[in-house]
Amino acid sequence: MNIIHGFEYTGLSVNFFLWGVLATVTHVVIGWFLVYTFTDYHPKWGAFGGLFPDFDVPFGFASGYWEWFPFVHRGFVHTPVFMVVCVIVLIGLGYKKKVWIPFSIGFFSHLVIDTFSHGGIMWFWPVNKTFYEFFPVAHDPEVEIIIFIFIILILILLPKRDYLNY
C-alpha cells in the first residue's frame, strides 16, 4: 500500500483521480492568477509554469512499481534547481518576450503550494534531500475548492485587459 499526499493509493480510483484533477487545476489557476494580477505578461505562461513540475507524475507511479526507477513525484523536478534549469533552457531557446518571467512565477507558486501539502518538497536539493512541509493543508479537497472558488470570483471582478507581453 502506498500513501500519496495523505491518500491510500491501491490503484486508480475515482476519488484519487478527482483529487488529482482538482490539484492540477489549482496549480494552473494560481499560476494564471498570479501572472494576470501582478504582471503585464500573458497569463498562459504562468499557467504553464504552474503545471510544469507535475510532468513527473507518471514517473512517480512507475517508481512505485519499479524501485530502480530514477524519477519520483516531487523529486528533482520539484526543486528550485530544476526551475533555474528550465529558465536557462527558455532563455537559451531565444524567447524574445522574456516568457521565463511568468513561467517562473507559475513554477515557484507550484513549489510553494506543494510545501503546504503532505510530503512537501526538497527546497535545498542537492545539498539537503530533506522534504520540507509547512502546515499541510494544500491539496486537501475542501481547501482546494475554497481557493478555486475565491480565485474565480476575483478573476470575474478584475477588469479585462490587453497583454503587453506574450
137: containing domain: 2-157
Residue 162 domain-assigned (yes or no): no
On whether residue 165 sits in a domain, the answer given is no
Q: Check if the beta carbon of residue 34 is closer than 8 Å to that of residue 106.
A: yes
The total domain count for the chain is 1
166 falls within a domain: no
Q: Residue 138 — pLDDT band, cuts 50, 70, 90? A: low
pLDDT digits (tens, 9 = 90+) for 6-39: 444 555 565 666 677 778 888 998 999 999 889 9
127 belongs to a structural domain: yes
Q: How confident is the model at residue 98 (pLDDT cuts 50, 70, 90)?
A: confident
In a domain, 164, yes or no: no
By C-alpha distance, which of 126, 96, 97, 103 is closest to 32?
A: 103
Note whether residue 153 is domain-resident.
yes
Q: Stretch 54-68: mean pLDDT, rounded?
A: 65
In a domain, 18, yes or no: yes
Report yes or no: 105 and 69 within 8 Å, Cβ to Cβ. Answer: no
Answering whether pTM is above 0.95, one says no
Query: In percent, how much of the chain has pLDDT > 90?
Result: 32
Return the ∠ at Cα 147 (arms to 56 and 55), rounded to 5°: 10
Long-range CB contact pairs, 7-13, < 8 A, 24+: 9/64
pLDDT at 88: 93
Predicted confidence (pLDDT) at residue 91 exceeds the cutoff of 60: yes
Residue bearing the bigger pLDDT, 159 or 162: 159
> With bands split at pLDDT 50, 70 and 90, how would you rate the model's confidence at 95?
confident
- Higher-pLDDT residue of 112 and 148 is 112
**Is pLDDT at 109 greater than 60 in this prediction?**
yes
pLDDT at 14: 59
